[in-house]
């Protein structure tokens, strides 16, 4: 009897223990709160957003419904966060979108499903799931930034249709220099905009994870990149074309049609010639440009000290007029030679000849700034103007002096029409000259320095007499028959 009593007591003890364990297990499995330490972490798969530990939301201790509700509220707050964008300036354009409209999506389904399983299955399965419940649940956050770009370009894309416009310089009819400002163009800076909005979203994720509310988003100025034109106003003004610094005029009103054509054509080629600081001006390039664009006509040229018919006569009036303007601007000549004969349109010592393949006219822009050459041909006058930089209190004056006269010689030529022992004057001789030219620098109207810029020789032209052939000297005949190198001044060779 005693034995059965003990067995009964043991049985009830085991049954009580089982009931206690089972009851505890049931209570554990039936709990409707999220296990302590459980949290939800936003996870991005596109690499656009960067979420730190501050963005982790604690869910432990909340009921399953509370945890789900908190996840949903955070998702709604993030996707519903408004982003106002506005351009700067007088013509402001403002648009406001939600982050959902700008491509942000928050998927809490995975985390909600994991929370829901705390209520599913039998007691044992639920207890085991709760025991093994993951410490960290994943909330998927993705941002399709192409939608942001699409929205922005749909409103402000018109800005990108404009191209930058260069600044311009105009030399007016009254010889003043005017500038027109450049116009910049603008492009949407999508990289900067994306970075700014991303930072706001990341801050909002952290704020909501810590239990705070997502604050209203302030206006984001639409970031723009400026596209400057190649020629800005500052760059153009830095070239230093401030005013007309020199001008010189010569007359070609008595020139024939061919010579006038050549003068006008060479002047057209020279028009608006731009010399950079330190750049060399070479008149040969003007001749080549003129030949290509206009061609040359027949007009008198100087061949070995004599005026003869040729092609291009008159081109040296352009180089000579430019030479005087360059001297008055204080420039220094690199290569320049006077004509072998005096010219009618300039004082002796002030001309600059050109002979293709033999004589060139060159000077260097030593002003330190750009130099613009302008030409005008009207009323039979040629004017060359130089525009650039020269102190307003500085000027130059030129003076040429004849330092020596060269008596003409006598040249005898045989002629059958002349009786033996007599001679006939064919053409009188002309005196030659040696001329020195000086340039004086004036500062505030006072001479501060004078330099000799050239010493030029103009050949004397001999008097020509016709004599009987039998009176001609043998050596004279040899002299007449001797070949000379042809140097065509004031014209071109072809």
Query: If you write DSSP's letter for every residue of 86-155 in order, what string do you get?
Result: E--SSS--EEEEETTTTTEEEE-HHHHHHHHGGG-S-HHHHHHHHHT--SEEEEEEEE-HHHHHHHHHHH
Residues 6+ apart with CB under 8 A from 361: 282, 283, 319, 322, 323, 335, 336, 352, 353, 354
Look at the block and give the residue holding tokens 């057209």.
268
Q: Which residues of the chain have pLDDT under 50?
A: 476-483
Give residue 129's pLDDT.
86
Give the whole-angstrom CA distance, residue 219 versus residue 230. Answer: 33
Question: Which residues, in sequence order, are CB contacts of 82 under 8 Å at separation 6+?
Answer: 96, 97, 98, 99, 216, 217
Question: Residue 481: what pLDDT?
Answer: 41
What whole-number distance in Å separates Cα of residue 392 and Cα of residue 135?
Answer: 84
Token pair in block for residue 37: 């330490």
Q: Count CB neighbours of 188 within 10 A.
A: 20
Query: What pLDDT is attached to residue 451?
Result: 97
Distance from C-alpha of 401 to C-alpha of 491, rounded to nearest angstrom: 27
Q: What is the pLDDT of residue 382?
A: 98
Cβ-Cβ contacts under 8 Å for 381 (sequence gap 6 or more): 249, 250, 251, 252, 253
pLDDT of the residue at 435: 98
Contacts of 176 (CB under 8 A, 6+ apart): 243
Question: What letter would DSSP give residue 183?
Answer: B
pLDDT given for residue 483 in this prediction: 44
Whole-model pTM?
A: 0.74
Query: Are the C-beta atoms of 209 and 56 separated by less than 8 Å?
Result: yes
């Amino acid at each position: 009897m005693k034995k059965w009593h003990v067995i009964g007591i043991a049985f009830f003890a085991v049954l009580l223990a089982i009931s206690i364990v089972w009851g505890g297990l049931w209570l554990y499995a039936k709990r409707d709160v999220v296990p302590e330490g459980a949290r939800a972490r936003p996870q991005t798969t596109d690499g656009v957003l960067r979420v730190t530990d501050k963005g982790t939301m604690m869910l432990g201790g909340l009921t399953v419904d509370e945890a789900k509700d908190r996840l949903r509220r955070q998702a709604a707050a993030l996707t519903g966060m408004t982003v106002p964008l506005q351009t700067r300036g007088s013509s402001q354009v403002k648009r406001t979108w939600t982050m959902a409209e700008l491509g942000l999506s928050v998927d809490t389904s995975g985390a909600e499903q994991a929370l829901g399983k705390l209520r599913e299955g039998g007691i044992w399965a639920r207890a085991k799931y709760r025991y093994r419940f993951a410490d960290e649940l994943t909330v998927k956050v993705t941002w399709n930034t192409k939608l942001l770009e699409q929205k922005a370009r749909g409103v402000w894309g018109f800005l990108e249709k404009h191209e930058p416009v260069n600044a311009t310089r105009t030399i007016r009819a009254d010889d003043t220099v005017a500038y027109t400002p450049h116009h910049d163009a603008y492009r949407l800076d999508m990289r900067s905009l994306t970075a700014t909005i991303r930072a706001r979203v990341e801050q909002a994720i952290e704020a909501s994870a810590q239990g705070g509310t997502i604050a209203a988003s302030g206006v984001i100025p639409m970031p723009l990149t400026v596209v400057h034109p190649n020629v800005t106003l500052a760059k153009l003004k830095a070239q230093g074309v401030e005013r007309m610094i020199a001008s010189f005029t010569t007359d070609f009103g008595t020139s024939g049609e061919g010579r006038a054509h050549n003068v006008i054509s060479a002047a057209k080629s020279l028009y608006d010639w731009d010399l950079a600081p330190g750049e060399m001006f070479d008149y040969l390039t003007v001749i080549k440009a003129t030949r290509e664009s206009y061609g040359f006509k027949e007009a008198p040229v100087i061949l070995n000290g004599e005026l003869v018919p040729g092609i291009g006569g008159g081109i040296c009036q352009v180089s000579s007029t430019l030479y005087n303007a360059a001297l008055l601007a204080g420039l220094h000549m690199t290569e320049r030679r006077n004509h072998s004969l005096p010219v009618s349109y300039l004082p002796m010592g002030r001309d600059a000849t050109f002979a293709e393949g033999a004589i060139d006219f060159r000077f260097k822009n030593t002003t330190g700034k750009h130099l613009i050459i302008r030409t005008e041909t009207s009323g039979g006058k040629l004017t060359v103007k130089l525009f650039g930089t020269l102190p307003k209190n500085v000027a130059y004056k030129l003076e040429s002096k004849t330092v020596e006269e060269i008596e003409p010689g006598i040249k005898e030529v045989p002629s059958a029409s002349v009786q033996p022992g007599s001679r006939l004057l064919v053409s009188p001789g002309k005196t030659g000259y040696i001329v020195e030219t000086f340039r004086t620098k004036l500062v505030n109207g006072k001479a501060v320095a004078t330099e000799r810029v050239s010493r030029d020789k103009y050949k004397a032209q001999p008097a020509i007499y016709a004599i009987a052939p039998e009176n001609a000297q043998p050596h004279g005949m040899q002299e007449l028959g001797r070949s000379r190198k042809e140097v065509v001044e004031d014209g071109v060779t072809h």
